[in-house]
Amino acid sequence: MSSSRLLKGVRNSISPILYCDKGYIVLQKPPGLICQLNHSNSSEATARDDSFANDIAQRSTGNVPNDFRLGKILGEEPVPVHRLDKELLLISGQGTTGALVLARSVARARALSQQFQAHTVEKTYLALVRGGEKTFPVKSGEVRTPIQYDDGRASLDLSKNGKPSITEWAVIASSPLIPLSLLRLKLHTGHKHQLRVHLAHSLGAPILGDTQYSRKPISDAVRKACVIPENRTFLHASHLSFFQYKANGPKKRFRLGVTAPLPSDFFKICHDAGIKVDSSEVEGGIWIDGSRVEDGLVPDVEGSWMGDQLVE
């Protein structure tokens, strides 16, 4: 599919529900949605729970099939399981976008939390970074520099006394027009702001829109070629996968993967910069054991892809 056709098909708003089954819901997290709650104060936690539910509800006015009405799902009090970038709160402005999983019961949340702790949940991120082909003399690698924190702000700890931190990275493509590249990232450790500080200070390629770890102005060439929204960090949790279980059959365990469609503003910058993006990452979808599920159905867990239900 041509990039111009893909661009035409990307809309400004994507339904927050990407996938739903009897145990889990995967949402497309927009910038600004709270995705992890700090329950240290019960009254604050209650208020934040209300905001969480209301924020999702306000973004969910599309034509959702009757079996998966968001009001019904919210009535089951979905349980947050993980944070996209390990911050307690991702509030408006600098938040990432992408796949966010919620459990439909405490038991399911506990089971998936155990998978996170066992490192069997796999997460892949896409990032637009400030740096062209010359920034990356090699096209893939790992950053293993430890991270330390001072008043919540991360920095590299060259003395190696900090938290062990591993980020795997690979260049998907660099713009032939401007100093901008698209990277695929995997976290092997999940510390607060790890991706942002590793990219900015180890690779010298800060994430586009990240003003906390790079105060250098965006180049005139980038600004002339692309429209860069204010208060937007171009880091997208593209793919999330974890184990699910069939009720019957010789092989009960399988890996379910959900790809969150690329937000329209993210794709528009790639298009304007001449960076090609695979159509599966633009459109999203679900996968079983690495193979795409073309009809979007996972009958073994009563699952269904819902990412085609777009909000007008």
φ, ψ for residue 5, nearest 5 deg: -70, -40
Average model confidence (pLDDT) across the chain: 79
Please give the pLDDT value at position 308.
75
In the DSSP assignment, the letter for residue 66 is: G
Location of structure tokens 């090699």: 138
Q: Pairing between strand 235-245 and 97-103? A: parallel
Lowest-confidence pick of 6-15, 23-32, 181-190, 212-221:
6-15
Residue 285: pLDDT above 80?
A: yes
Please give the pLDDT value at position 79.
67
Higher pLDDT, 213 or 38: 213
**Tokens encoding 257:** 């993967």
Higher pLDDT, 50 or 236: 236
**Tokens encoding 182:** 């698209």
**Cα separations (Å) of 280 from 117, 237, 283, 289, 312?**
28, 14, 5, 16, 22
Location of structure tokens 């790890």: 194
As a whole number of angstroms, the distance between CA 152 and CA 150 comes to: 5
Q: Pairing between strand 297-298 and 291-292? A: unpaired
In the chain, the percentage of residues whose pLDDT exceeds 70 is 73
Q: Which helix (H) or strand (E) holds 137?
A: none
235-262 per-position pLDDT tens digit: 999 999 999 999 888 899 999 999 999 9
As a whole number of angstroms, the distance between CA 74 and CA 57 comes to: 8
- Specify whether the CB–CB gap between 175 and 277 falls below 8 A: no
65-82 per-position pLDDT tens digit: 333 344 454 455 566 665
Write b or e for each residue in 70-79: b if 16 or more Cβ atoms lie within 10 A of its Cβ, otherwise e: beebbeeebb
Q: Which helix (H) or strand (E) holds 77?
A: none
Please give the pLDDT value at position 33.
55
Using pLDDT thresholds of 50, 70 and 90, give the confidence band for residue 63: very low
24-33, 87-96, 123-132, 182-191: range with highest mean pLDDT: 123-132
Residue range 108-132: average pLDDT? 92
Residue 269: pLDDT above 70?
A: yes
φ, ψ for residue 18, nearest 5 deg: -95, -40
Please give the pLDDT value at position 192.
82
As a whole number of angstroms, the distance between CA 245 and CA 251 comes to: 9
